[in-house]
Amino acid sequence: MKRRFTRQDAASAIVLGVACAAVFVLLNDIVGPLLSEPSESREIGAMWAVVSTIFVFRAHLSDRLQDARTRITATTVSLVICLAYLLIFPVTAVGVGAVIAAGAVLVVLVGRPQDASLTGITSTVVLVVADLGPASDRWLQPLLRMLDTTIGIAVGFLAAAAFTWAAGRLTPSTRQPLERSTS
């Protein structure tokens, strides 16, 4: 059954859009230049922060926490494996496959097998971005992407919390937390 589009849906979309634009500007125009990141790396970092913001933008705190844990676990595992790999080897197709396989094994060993896909995606992005930049700076990419992820999660949390609080104040007759449509 199709759900009706509500003002709360529109407001949620607007808040998410504003949060994503804000985190993009923050990473691309403020944090990136402060870290002397090349423009290509800044844009990737800003994109990565936007993805993290979207990933944790949920109405319920428990959902935000679960999604943040998934994002942090995947990024941390990716950071460790990619950093070790980039300090020793150049980026190759075999290396990308080996890093993805190692990440999948590691998340299973730490009891988070559901994070294997996101760990693989994160590792792929980190390695490809590292390969696009100067060889001397490749090892920095995992650290920069961890920073981007953390900032994006924080912005997503704040935006979702602010929206949930404001929506509850504006619609006192609806005291239930807002849910995003999955259809």
- The verdict on residue 104 lying in a domain is yes
148-172 per-position pLDDT tens digit: 999 999 999 999 988 888 877 666 5
- The verdict on residue 180 lying in a domain is no
Domain that holds residue 44: 8-170
pTM: 0.80
- The verdict on residue 178 lying in a domain is no
Q: Which class for 169: exposed (0-12), middle (13-18), buried (19 or more C-beta within 10 A)?
A: exposed
Q: How many domains does the chain have?
A: 1
81-117 per-position pLDDT tens digit: 999 999 999 999 999 999 999 999 999 999 999 999 9
Q: Which class for 36: exposed (0-12), middle (13-18), buried (19 or more C-beta within 10 A)?
A: exposed
- The verdict on residue 127 lying in a domain is yes
- The verdict on residue 182 lying in a domain is no
21-54 per-position pLDDT tens digit: 999 999 999 999 999 988 888 999 999 999 999 9
- The verdict on residue 179 lying in a domain is no
Angle at 156 between CA 27 and CA 105, to 5 degrees: 90
Those residues whose C-beta lies under 8 Å from the C-beta of residue 135, and which sit 6 or more positions away, are 90
